[in-house]
Each structure stands twice: as structure tokens, then as C-alpha cells.
Amino acid sequence: MTLPPFVRARRAALLLGVIALAAPQIGRATAAAGSTPRTVALRAAPDTVRGVVFDSVSNVPLVEAFVLAEPGGANVSTDSLGRFTVVADGRITKVTVYHEALDEIGFGALVAERPADATRWDGFTVAIPSMETIWDAVCGEPRPAGENGGVLIGSTRLPDDRTRVGGAGIRVQWEAILPRTRLLQLEERDAVTDSTGSFAICGVPNVGELAMIALSTEYASSALRVSLTDRPLRRVDVVMAPADGPIDRWPTLTGRVIAPDLQPIAGAVVNIDGVDSAAVTDSAGRFTMPQVPPGSRMLSAEAGGYVSGMQQVDVLFASTPDVVVPLERGLSIAGLEGFAVTERRVLRRDREEFELRRREGLATFVDTVQIREAGSLRAALEMVPGLEITTPSGETDAAKFAVSGRGRSLGVTSCQATILLDGFPATLEELHSVAVDQLAAVEIYRSVAYAPDRYAAFAESECVMLLFWTQFGLRP
């Protein structure tokens, strides 16, 4: 039986409690062999503790984890096999493990406590619970054996960094390849945050990339990109900003772009969705972006000789911490230094293809300037030949509309248009949930037959096709 989303959200909020209980038990169970009767005197100093930190989600040792011994504060890092040895002046009663991977999956830290009667604490394991254990705790049903055995957990809050958003809808989407036809299919999962703003979505891909958005009647996030590259478990905390109405507080975002050797990268171009103009880093690799809309947004950076980088940034009303954007070095081809191979090459090729179709009279383009000049997205589309813009039955909001193809361009009375958002099929409700200032462009093809094959594959008729692109979707 599949649990309702709000039940899964409550279980996600309890996940940290599961970890706090699981880690000490693992330490006690494996340390029993090194214990002795209580009648044996315990030496006060010195003390040596040896163990292993293991990632049961990925089934690999946790390398370069920070291990802190208490009391005393002695610390070491795990080696390539996840092993550690801590030497302290006094008796070690607890070890706490920190690692960036733990932050990514929402654990924070792993804790193991020493059995009270153990004179020697050696050969024990501090481990992240397995995905089966986590799935059972969060999802309440057996984990599927297929590709969609991943779990996404997280929370929603407002830009004041205090107020949680209950009752918000969370939607994730991804591309799946159908096993028989090998065609791409868009799949999605939904959840609703509980009263603490927590959510859990079970059944996402074990590995891959997801598109994610948070929406409520009053608040919304930008479209976010989530990577499940190493583990089928990920925590994403989302900042939601007011969806409508004027913004009375415009934060300033600062940060720096660095190379793999931590050296600053000068001249890097930094963009963030919701802001039309880009920033350029100075000689110290620093950038400043004034008047950034609050909320969780995707920030990208690119520089000659480096592969473009993209990451989520939570823009708060108060001071947002400096953003650090690391870039990997690009490939050098034919000895040409500074030539980086990135996804933007694919984007340029796509746009060249569109320009060719437009010159042939097969496509039309609407950008943000045209939308602004027309006064609204609806008004801009009403000016495009071949489109019929109507108000859906029972709809009172004039800004919301339906799109059809006019008969004179297709030889029929009218037909329902195919709508894609950032390259994937979308409903009118999903389209209208996107703020106009987040839209970057609209491609209109007179017929699906004139659209690129990768998009035409989604159509169910030969009618007109509209490709709506957000500022997030047009960036690598």
C-alpha cells in the first residue's frame, strides 16, 4: 500500500531520528568483541580508537570523512578504505562523523557511542543505514527492484529563513527511456509538505537528473535542477518566495568563482534565473549581483577553458552567505588552450536550427522584450499569426488562456496546440504557474511537422506546437 504524501513527509521529518538511533547501535553491536567484564579497571589515558566509516547507501567506504572524538576533540580523516585511528589523552566515549555526503542526504552527522564496559574500542563500524532501511522508514513499503528506487526528502521555508511552508506542492520530473521503443517519456512524482514544511518523494530514479519546483497559492520556487549522481537519496531544502505581487526587498548576492586548485577565475560570466543581466568576476574571482529576487534559484557560471557550472542558491531577505562556484577545467582540442566543451554548444546548435526554420517561414519567435511591450504573455501570443487564444470555460482570470491552431493554416477549423515547457510536455495549469519574468522565450511552429524531431515526438496531433522556455531551461 502506498502511503499518502503527507504521511511520507512526516516520516521524512523523523529520518534524522532514525539515523541518530541507528549509528550508536551499530557501534555497540560491533564493539562487543572488544569488551571485558566490569571488574576490569578502565585506564584513564591514553586511549586509541579504531574503526571504519561505511556508506551503506552506495555500498562503499566513506573516504575523507572527518572523525571527531569526544571528549577532548581529537580528530582525524578516514583513508581510502574508510578506516580511521584516533589517539587521545583521555578515554574516548563518543565519535562523531561529518562528511559533505551526509549533508547532501540529510543526515548531518553519524554518531557512535562507546559501550560503557568496553576497555578497548576497536574494529567497529559507523555506517549510513542501507537504502532498504531508509525506504522502509520513509516510504512504508518494500523498495522496488527497478530503476526508480530513489528517495528525495527536504523542506520548504520562506526567505526570512524561519517560516516553514506547509501545504506546498512539490513536483519532480525526469526523462525515462521506455524499454521496448527506447523513446523518451516524461515521468513525474508529487508530494505535499506537512505542517513543518517537510516532504518526501519515493520512487525517483536511483541516478540521474531531476527538475523540481515548489508551488503554493502564495509562494513558489524557481525551477531547480537536482542531481542523483552518487546515491539514490538526496535532501533538497527549498526557499519559496511570494508568487505574485511586488517585491519590497531585493537582496544582493555576492560570491566567487574558483578553479580546481582553489585559485580565483577572473572574467567568468555568472547568471542567475530571474535576473536579466549577467555579472563578471573581477581579478579576485568575485562577483556581485544586486536586486536578485528572493527564493531558491539556479546559478550558472562559465569561463574560457572551463566547463560550465550550475548550482542551487538560496537567496534570503537577510544576508545570503557568499556563493562559491567551483569550475572544472575543460578539454583542450588540437592544442587550443581555453576551448571548453560544454552543453552550451548543443544549445547554440539548437538555436541555429530554429533560426533556419524561422527564415523559411516555418516558425515564429517571441522573447521577453515582445512580451513586455505587449503587456502580457497572452497579448504577445495573440499577435502571432496562426494562433487562436481563448479563455477556458469557467475561467475568470484573463491572464490564463488556451491555445489552438487556426484552421486557415492547417486546413481544419481549429486544433489543440501542443505545449512544451523547457522541452517537455506541459499542461496549461503548469504553464500558468510559471511567473512571466521567468520566461525567456517562446518558439511557435506552424505545425508539429515543422518542429525538430526531438520535440515533435511528444505531440499527439499535427497541430501547432509552442515551446515555452524559462531562463533556467535555456541555460546549460
Between 360 and 111, the higher pLDDT residue: 111
Domains and CATH numbers, the chain: 16-131 (2.60.40.10), 144-242 (2.60.40.10), 253-342 (2.60.40.1120), 345-470 (2.170.130.10)
Q: Is residue 465 exposed (0-12), middle (13-18) or buried (19+ Cβ within 10 Å)?
A: buried
As a whole-number percent, the residues of the chain with pLDDT over 70 amount to: 78
Q: Of the given ranges (48-52, 186-190, 365-369), which has the lowest mean pLDDT? A: 365-369
Across the range 224-241, mean pLDDT stands at 86
Q: Which pLDDT score is estimated for 98?
A: 93
Supply the pTM of this predicted model.
Answer: 0.58
pLDDT at site 194? 92
Closest CA to 431 of 459, 394, 397, 470: 470
Specify the pLDDT at position 32: 37
For 423-432, how does the pLDDT look when each residue is reduced to its tens digit (9 = 90+)?
888 888 888 8
Give me the amino acid identity at 326: P
**pLDDT of amino acid 343:** 34
Q: How confident is the model over 40-75, as pLDDT tens digits?
A: 444 556 889 999 999 988 888 999 999 999 988 889
**Residues 250-271: tens digit of each pLDDT:** 888 899 999 988 899 999 999 9
How far apart CA 451 and CA 461 sit, in angstroms, is 12
d(CA 416, CA 124): 64
Half-sphere exposure of 87 (CA within 13 A, CB side): 1
Look at 6 and 207; give whichever has higher pLDDT.
Answer: 207
